[in-house]
Amino acid sequence: MYSELHERGESETKGIEDVLMYSLEGKQLTREEVRVIVAEAHVWQKRADLRRTDLSKTNLIGADLREADLERANLSGTRLDNAILLHAVLEGANMQNAQL
């Protein structure tokens, strides 16, 4: 999945917000790539760096977010039922209407 998204490159991005890059497993991902990975419940590694990521209204049911850095992430309306948030950093995260 990641390689498919990466091969498409940034030429298909639609706006400046999609070009923002986020670090995950040593690779730089666009916001849309992060959303696709999260939405499709791909394997998460401990300590994922998701600071300031917009994950609003995303389905994270059962996601393994152990030790993830979600500082200032937008989790508004996100479904987090049964998500593993052990030692996750949630400082400043927007959790308005998030379902835990």
Domain boundaries, given as residue ranges, for the chain: 2-39
Predicted confidence at residue 47, as pLDDT, reads 77
Report pLDDT digits (tens) over 15-39: 545 556 666 677 777 777 777 776 6
Residue 62's nearest CA partner among 35, 48, 41 is 41
- List, in order, residues 6 or more apart from 97 with CB less than 8 Å away: 76, 77
Report pLDDT digits (tens) over 46-61: 678 889 999 999 888 8
Mean pLDDT of 79-93: 94
pLDDT at 92 exceeding the cut of 60: yes
pTM score, two decimals?
Answer: 0.57
Structure tokens at 93: 């995260």
pLDDT at 82 exceeding the cut of 60: yes
| C-alpha span between 65 and 46 (Å, rounded) | 7
Positive or negative CA dihedral for 42, 46, 51, 56? positive
